[in-house]
Amino acid sequence: MASLLKLSTAVRRQTLLAGSRAGSTYAAAFRTALSNEPATEVTTLDSGLRVASESVPSQVATVGLFIDAGARYEDKNSNGTANFFEHLAFKGTTKRSQSALEQEVESMGAQLNASTGRDQTSFTARCLSKDVPKLIEILADVVQNPRLDDADVKRAREVILGEIEQVDASNLREVVCDHLHATAFQGTSLGNTVWGPSSNIRSIKADDVRGYVNSHYKAPRMVLAAAGDVRQSELEKLAEKYLGKVESTFDGKPPQLSAVRFTGSEMRVRDDSLPLAHVAVAVEGCGVSSSDAVALSVASALIGTWDRTFGGGVNNASKLAVASAHDKLCHNFESFNMTYRDTGLWGIYFECDPLQCEDMLFNVQNEWMRLCTMVTDGEVERAKRQLKTQLLAQLEGPQAICEDIGRQVLHLGRREPLHDVERRIENVTASNVRDVAMRYIFDRCPAVAAVGPVENLPDYMRIRSSMYWTRL
C-alpha cells in the first residue's frame, strides 16, 4: 500500500509538472500572438486634433469622431443638451438636406450611429474600407455644419421625451444606474443623467444646442479614429482636408470637469406594482488610469455574472452564483467596475423577488468581505482567464476596435497594446486583490439605488454595518 501511495504521488507530481509546462507554453504563445497584433498609431495635428488608427485585415471598416462632450460637462440648466444634439446630428447640414444625407449613406451601404455618454460623445460610420474617405467627409460635415432648425428641434424634443418614458417603463436597469450615479455623486456633474430632466428637454432651443456645440467641439477635444483596411498617413491627410478648419481656441476658458465627490447614500423608489426588485450597490472605485483598475476588474470578475437561464447551476465557479442557484436568491446579477477619467463605481446590480432582497444582499456583502480577506490564488487565476476572454471578445471586429481606440485616446492620449493589458492582468495576485478590496470596499460607505417592491431591502445603516467583518 505504501508503494502504491508513493507511485500515485509521483504520477500526480509528474502530471502537475506537465500541466504547468503546458500552461507556461500556452501562456508564452498567447503573449506572442498578442504582441504581433497591429499597433495603434496616434498622431496629433497642429490644431490639436488627434488621429488614431489600427490596420485590420477586413473589407469593412469603422471610422468615428470622439469628442470630450457629455453629461459631465453640463450644469443643471443645460443637462441633456449633448444628447439633444445626438438626435439632431443626422437631420441635415447646411450643405446637405436630411434626405440627401440619408440617400448618400444608403447608396454606399454604410451605417451611421451616434452615442452620448457621461464623459464623451461619438459619431461613427460602418462602411466598406474603400468608402472611408467619403464617410470622414460626411462626419466632418455633420459636426461642423449642423442645420439645427426649429422644426427639427421640435421633432427631436418629442422623440426624446418619448424615449425617456420608454426607458422609465421598460429599462429599469438603466433607471437604477442613473439613480446610482445621482446619489453616489450628488451635487457634482457626474450625477447628471445623459437624458437630462424632462423640464430641460422641453425648454432647450436651437441656439442652446448650437452654443453647446460651439463651446465643446474644438480640435483639442476631438479624436478621429478608424479601424479596418486603413492607413494612418491617409487618415492624417483626410483629417487635415475635412477637419482642418475646426477651431482650436476657446472663447474664454475651455470646458473643465468639475470636482467629483462620492457620497455614501441611498435612493429608493418603491413601486409594489413591479414583479421584481431592481437593486444596485456600489462603492467608489478608481479612475481609468489608476494602477488599481486592473486588480478591481479581476475582483469584479471573481463575483461574476449570473442569470437563472444560464447552464451550470450549482456547478458555477462563482460562489455567489452557486448560492443564487441553490437558494433561488435572485433572477440575475451582474458585477461591474465602471471607470471614468478620475473616479469610478465598483459594485453589483441584481434583480430578485421582493422577499429575497435581504438574503441576496447578505450573500453579496458576504462575498465582498471574503474578497477582502480570504480570496485564494485559484479563484484569482480563474477570474483572470475570464477577464481576458471577456476583453478579447469585446474587441472582435473593426467597430469594437474603433470605439476602444477612440475612448482610450480621448482619455489617455494613447491606446494600451493588448499584450501590455494581458501582462497587467497576469501580474495580479490574490494578495493584490485582497489589498485593493481592503482599500476600496472594506468599511466603506456604499451607494445604494433600488426600484420596485423594495420594502424587504435592509435599511441603509444595516447595509453600512455589513461592510466590515469584526472577526479580523
Strand order, beta sheet including 111-116: 41-44, 50-55, 222-228, 60-67, 121-128, 111-116
DSSP letter, residue 204: -
Burial 317-336 (b: 16+ CB within 10 A, else e): ebbbbbbbbeeebbbbbbbb
CATH no. of 41-244: 3.30.830.10
pLDDT value for 23: 52
CA distance 31 to 40: 17
All three cell numbers of 157: 424634443
pLDDT value for 314: 78
Instruction: Count the Cβ atoms, other than its own, within 10 Å of residue 304.
Output: 20
CA distance 281 to 267: 11
pLDDT value for 362: 97
pLDDT value for 403: 96
pLDDT value for 18: 42
Query: Catalytic site residue 86?
Result: yes
CA distance 140 to 153: 21
Beta bridge partners of 322: none
Instruction: Count the Cβ atoms, other than its own, within 10 Å of residue 388.
Output: 18
CA distances from 209 to 85, 204, 254 (A): 6, 7, 17
Which residue reads 445626438 in cell numbers?
86
Q: Where are the domains of the chain?
A: 41-244, 266-466
**Which of 64, 40, 114, 123 is CA-nearest to residue 412?**
40
H or E stretch including 225? strand 222-228
DSSP letter, residue 271: -
All three cell numbers of 103: 440617400
All three cell numbers of 210: 448650437
- In the three-class reduction of DSSP (H, G, I as helix; E, B as strand; rest coil), residue 32 is classed as helix
All three cell numbers of 420: 501590455
Q: Which residues contact 414 (CB under 8 A, 6 or more apart)?
A: 40, 42, 408
All three cell numbers of 122: 461619438
Per-residue pLDDT of the chain (472 residues; tens, 9 = 90+): 333 333 333 433 443 344 444 455 656 666 666 666 778 999 999 999 999 999 988 899 999 999 999 999 999 999 999 999 999 999 999 999 999 999 999 999 999 999 999 999 999 999 999 999 999 999 999 999 999 999 999 999 999 999 999 999 999 999 999 999 999 999 999 999 999 999 999 999 999 999 999 999 999 999 999 999 999 999 999 999 999 999 988 877 778 788 899 999 999 999 999 999 999 999 999 999 999 999 999 999 999 999 998 877 778 889 999 999 999 999 999 999 999 999 999 999 999 999 999 999 999 999 999 999 999 999 999 999 999 999 999 998 999 999 999 999 999 999 999 999 999 999 999 999 999 999 999 999 999 999 999 999 999 999 999 999 986 5
All three cell numbers of 436: 485593493
Instruction: Count the Cβ atoms, other than its own, within 10 Å of residue 154.
Output: 12
All three cell numbers of 231: 492607413
CB 453 within 8 A of CB 270: yes
CB 149 within 8 A of CB 125: no
CA distance 88 to 146: 8
All three cell numbers of 209: 444646442
CA distance 125 to 65: 9
CA distances from 468 to 211, 243, 296, 366 (A): 49, 54, 18, 9
CB 132 within 8 A of CB 226: yes
Which residue reads 473643465 in cell numbers?
256
Instruction: Count the Cβ atoms, other than its own, within 10 Å of residue 236.
Output: 17
CA distance 308 to 332: 6
Catalytic residue among 41, 54, 74, 86: 86
Tell me how far apart the terminal alpha carbons of the chain are, to the nearest angstrom. Answer: 43
DSSP letter, residue 224: E
All three cell numbers of 372: 477582502
Burial 276-298 (b: 16+ CB within 10 A, else e): bbbbbbbbbbbebebebbbbbbb
CATH no. of 266-466: 3.30.830.10
All three cell numbers of 321: 452564483
CA distance 90 to 142: 7
Q: Do domains 41-244 and 266-466 have the same CATH topology?
A: yes
Interhelix angle for 293-303 vs 377-393, to 10°?
A: 100
